[in-house]
Amino acid sequence: METHIPLIVRNISLNDDATIEQLALSLSDFGWHETGGQVIATFYTSAADPVAAAAAAALSIKRALPQARVERVDEQFVSLADIAARAGLTHEAVRLWAAGKRRAASEPFPAPRAEVGQGRTATKIWTWPEVLTWLKTHYCLDLEPDTAYLTPEQVTRLNAALQSRPQPRWQPATAGVARTLAVMSTVLEEDASPTPTARRFTCTGGKR
- What are the tens digits of pLDDT across the range 158-200? 999 999 855 444 445 555 555 555 555 554 454 444 433 333 3
Looking at the fold, whether 14 and 98 belong to one and the same domain comes out as: no
Q: Considering the domain boundaries, does residue 116 fall inside one? A: yes
Looking at the fold, whether 95 and 157 belong to one and the same domain comes out as: no
Q: Domain count of the chain?
A: 2
Looking at the fold, whether 168 and 142 belong to one and the same domain comes out as: no
The Cα angle at residue 117 between residues 115 and 123, in degrees rounded to 5: 50
Q: State pLDDT tens for residues 137-157.
A: 888 889 999 999 999 999 999
Looking at the fold, whether 126 and 99 belong to one and the same domain comes out as: yes
Mean pLDDT of 65-80: 95
Q: Considering the domain boundaries, does residue 157 fall inside one? A: yes
Looking at the fold, whether 165 and 69 belong to one and the same domain comes out as: yes
pTM given for the model? 0.74
Residue 186 lies in domain: 2-75+151-192
% of residues, the chain, pLDDT over 70: 77
Distance of CA 99 to the CA centre of its chain: 27
Looking at the fold, whether 28 and 123 belong to one and the same domain comes out as: no
Percentage helix, strand, coil, to 5, in the chain?
A: 40, 20, 40
Q: Considering the domain boundaries, does residue 204 fall inside one? A: no
Distance of CA 46 to the CA centre of its chain: 14
